[in-house]
Amino acid sequence: MLFCTRILIIHQTKPKQMKKIFALLTIAGMLFFFGCGSANQETAAEEVEAVEEVVQEGVEEVEEIADEAVEDVEEVIE
C-alpha cells in the first residue's frame, strides 16, 4: 500500500516539481560521491606516508649492514 501511495504522490506532482526533485537528488548524489572520494584520497595519503617511513627504516638498516660489511672486509685486508 505504501508503494501505491508513493506512485499516487509522484503522479500528482507537476513535471516542474519532478525536475526540481530530480535535480536535488542528482546534486545530493554527486556530493555524496565526491565526499567519499576525498576520504579515500586522505586514507591513501596516510598509507603512503606509513610505507615511506617503513622504507626509510629499511634503507637505514641496509646502510648500517653495508657499513659493517665494509669494515669487516677492511679488517681482513689489513
For residues 40 and 16, give the distance between their C-alpha atoms in angstroms, rounded to a whole number.
37
In the chain, pLDDT over 70 holds for what percent of residues?
A: 71
Report residue 65 CA to chain centroid gap. Answer: 36
Cell of 38: 576525498
For residues 63 and 71, give the distance between their C-alpha atoms in angstroms, rounded to a whole number.
12
pTM of the model: 0.45
For residues 2 and 13, give the distance between their C-alpha atoms in angstroms, rounded to a whole number.
17
Cβ atoms of 46 and 54 closer than 8 Å: no
Domain boundaries, the chain: 2-77
Consecutive H or E run containing 72: helix 15-77
Tens digits of residue pLDDT in 2-28: 455 555 455 555 666 677 778 888 888
